[in-house]
Amino acid sequence: MIEDDTSKCSILLIDDEPFAQQIIQHGLKGCVKHVLRYEPSPMRAVDLVRELDVTVVLVDLRMPDLDGFGFTRRLRANPATEHVPVIMLSSEDDPEIKAQAFAAGVNDYMVKWPDPRELVARVQYHNAACIARRERDAAFASLRVSQQQLAASESALHQAQKMEAIGQLTGGVAHDFNNVLQIIGGNLQLLKLVGGLNEAARSRVEMALAGVERGAKLSSHLLAFARRQPLQAVVLNPGHLLRDMDDMMRRVLGPNARVITDIDPSLWSTVADPNQLNNVLLNLAINARDAMSGDGTLVIRAANAGGRSPPGDATLPAGVEPGEYVVIEVSDTGKGMPPEVLQRAFEPFFTTKPVGQGTGLGLSMAYGFVKQSGGEIVLSSEVGCGTSVHIFLPRSEVEAAQPEPQVDVPLYGGLETILVVEDEEDVRSSTCAILSALGYQVLEASDAAGAIAVVESGRHIDLVFTDVIMPGPVSSLQLGEAVRTHLPHAQILYTSGYAEGVLAHEGKVSASVHLLQKPYHPDALSARIRHLLRPGRNGGAAADTRRAATSDAGAQ
């Protein structure tokens, strides 16, 4: 035990008489592995105690300029040295002097020259006490840091639990909300298809359909925040998407704002849902416009980060796992956010905008989409200095294909037979009416079990259009297996307002699964059906034969 203490023993002797060093050094021969340093000037000694990490100070009482009392008081006044043990050496064996020494703050008092055994014992005792105190202080400091980290972790867990609870609630609400929107929108579209509306009625229908579209966007944002929006992710290069959005961004910001786009020509690819990414960037641009009041600078950058790229040599922000990322930055010169607003920025429905000017879902939707895509989003802002959003999406080793030009597909139908499977009677009724108006032969089923009975009956079916989530013992996935077994040439098109955990795995829908999100527009439904039933897909000749057979059966 003595070896452990003395191996850390650092002693400073302060005495204006140089021979004192020799006497003390001789007396400390029994104190193994100690270090003795000598300083004649008490004026410099306080700094030396700190610099040399001294564990015991031996100081003479009577010295010119500054005596042992004054030196000890200075040592105690400095927070860095206030707890270092001081042993005062004096030729005066006067109780009054000793009392003054202890009042000044010394830990021990020895009359010159002490017996070496007593000197070693006292030095080792005070050295051990100093080391023990330092270890205790270090343990308390470590405990405080641990408590702070624990408090931060508890706060983060509470926030995550709160966001998850809100996410579960919004996901369930969005599912029922989408069905309601489908009923309203489907019947309004059916009115348009049937015709016979005067100009005033048509105008009213268009206004109502615009409201359905707004509701659909709100529902989509809720699902995106809740990370329950099935992502139809593809390999893409964000640079292509940003270039295509450039004109739209400028129109959103208005003529007084300046838009700077900086895209790394060697930008990597990533895997994401292009439509959702487009919505995220558009919402960030709208937030920037409102923060800048239409007059400022919006900077959009896309670069590589992490891994081997030169831009990635910089350290990734805290919270972003090491790896290779495509980073999209959207920065504005707006008014910025105070810390209390920044802390809640990703919460759904939290907004500082006046009533009617914002839903508070823009940033929460971006947060949900990025997390669901396997990335990270970092928000930084300061009042008067603007706001910056960095989106980190994992790099894809697969190169993105060149984007195909968008082609407007007109609304048209066909003569094929379609089985509609939907448990919501009103949704099923309006969908079947729309498909019938487009010329299709339409069969109906209210659940997957009823649909399997139709499939196994031998009826000719070209396409099964089925809801994903339905009551009953048979799931939509089991229905899909039955269709592939009994009708191998038939196509399957799923629809849902909320497909989490059924078709979507880890929030993403396989490229082999065809999904049409509710609420859907007749134009989108028509285009998807014609795409799936186009000649040459899954045995085009057989499909043509089936259509001919259907026409003959209908004629009989």
Q: Is the pTM of this model over 0.75?
A: no
Q: Identify the CA nearest to 328 among candidates 387, 274, 267.
A: 267
Higher pLDDT, 426 or 46: 426
pLDDT band at 370 (very low <50, low <70, confident <90, very high): confident
Q: What percentage of the chain reaches a pLDDT higher than 90?
A: 29
Per-residue tokens: 290: 């409102």
Banded pLDDT at 221 (limits 50, 70, 90): low
Find where tokens 């993105």 sit: 400
Q: Nearest CA to 70 among 96, 50, 100? A: 100
In tens, the pLDDT along 61-90 reads 998 888 999 999 999 998 888 899 999 999
Q: Mean pLDDT across the stretch 305-311?
A: 60
The lowest-confidence range among 84-98, 178-192, 336-350 is: 336-350
Residues 6+ apart with CB under 8 A from 160: none
Examine the pLDDT at 472 and tell me if it is beyond 90.
no
Closest CA to 366 of 388, 389, 384: 389
Measured in degrees and rounded to the nearest 5, phi and psi for residue 67 equal: -85, 180
C-alpha span between 303 and 264 (Å, rounded): 5
Query: Is the Cβ–Cβ distance between 478 and 434 less than 8 Å?
Result: no
Q: Are 61 and 90 in contact (CB under 8 A)?
A: yes
What lies within 8 Å, CB to CB, of 307 at 6+ separation is 323, 324, 395
Q: Is the pLDDT of residue 543 over 50?
A: no
Per the prediction, the chain carries an average pLDDT of 81
Rg for the chain, CA atoms, rounded: 39
Cα–Cα distance between 517 and 129 in angstroms, integer? 72
Give the type of residue at 520: Y
Q: Where are the beta strands (DSSP E) in 264-409?
A: 269-272, 297-305, 325-332, 376-382, 386-396
- Name the token pair of 335: 């008014």
What is the rounded CA–CA span in Å between residue 98 and residue 410? 105
Q: How confident is the model at residue 161 (pLDDT cuts 50, 70, 90)?
A: confident
**536-548 as b/e, with b when 16 or more CB fall inside 10 Å?**
eeeeeeebeebbe
Confidence of residue 106 (pLDDT cuts 50, 70, 90): very high
pLDDT score of 100 more than 70: yes
Q: Is the pLDDT score of 421 beyond 90?
A: yes
Of 8-12, 185-189, 297-301, 345-349, minimum mean pLDDT range = 345-349
Strand-pair partners of 388:
331, 380
Six token digits for residue 211: 């409201």
Average the pLDDT over 108-136 and give the result: 92
Q: Which of 156-160, 421-425, 449-453, 513-517 has the lowest mean pLDDT?
A: 156-160
Reply yes or no: is the peptide bond before residue 394 cis, omega within 30 of 0: no
Quickly state the pLDDT bin for 553 (edges 50, 70, 90): very low
Provide the pairing of β-strand 325-332 with 386-396: antiparallel
**Tens digit of each residue's pLDDT (9 = 90 or more) over 309-335:** 444 444 678 778 888 999 999 999 988
Looking at residue 461, what is its pLDDT? 94
Residue owning tokens 């919402």 = 283
